[in-house]
Amino acid sequence: MSKEKKISTVSGLKDKFSRANIMLVTDYRGLSAKEINELRRHLDQSEVEYRVVKNTLARLAANQVGREKVVSLLDGPVAIAFGYEDEIKLARSLIEYIRDSGSALQIKGGVMGERVLDQKDVQTLATLPAKEVLISQLVGQMLTPLRSLHNLSIAPLRGILVLLQARMRQLEGG
């Protein structure tokens, strides 16, 4: 690889490392070029970028942008899945592809924010509900005390209303 090509590759990787919310490192040994292309197409639907990397160039790029935690995972032939939006979507897409295709692809680990993930963490992440569902559950939980407060504060007014209606019926009837 020429020096210009290496510089270009490191620059591209620096951009990916700096923008990614989550990076999952995979061992792609045992996959054919056709299977890797199928995996890329599958991940493209989830807005995920999958790239086979040279370890030395990836280490250099990661160190230059302060993402040193991913360096420990760069051992042997690896490819990195970069997720820029939803962290759960990347993990779920990768796990689904491995399960559905019976692929030999192995997840070595990953980095989400400042946290290093192992295979078990990635599996757990993949089973979480989607971000929108989690947000709606949180909002629902936050509304429960507000509803209770509303019901408690309106109870005396309801009592007065019932009392006034009873008195009106009493006066009308007799």
Instruction: Give pLDDT tens digits for 43-59.
Output: 888 778 888 889 899 99
Residue 145 has pLDDT above 90, yes or no: no
CB atoms within 10 A of CB 108: 20
* pTM (two decimals): 0.73
Residue 24 has pLDDT above 70, yes or no: yes
User: pLDDT tens for residues 62-101?
Assistant: 988 888 888 888 888 899 999 888 888 888 888 888 888 8
Considering the segment(s) 3-128 as one domain, its CATH architecture is: 2-Layer Sandwich (3.30)
Q: Which two tokens stand for residue 150?
A: 């509303």
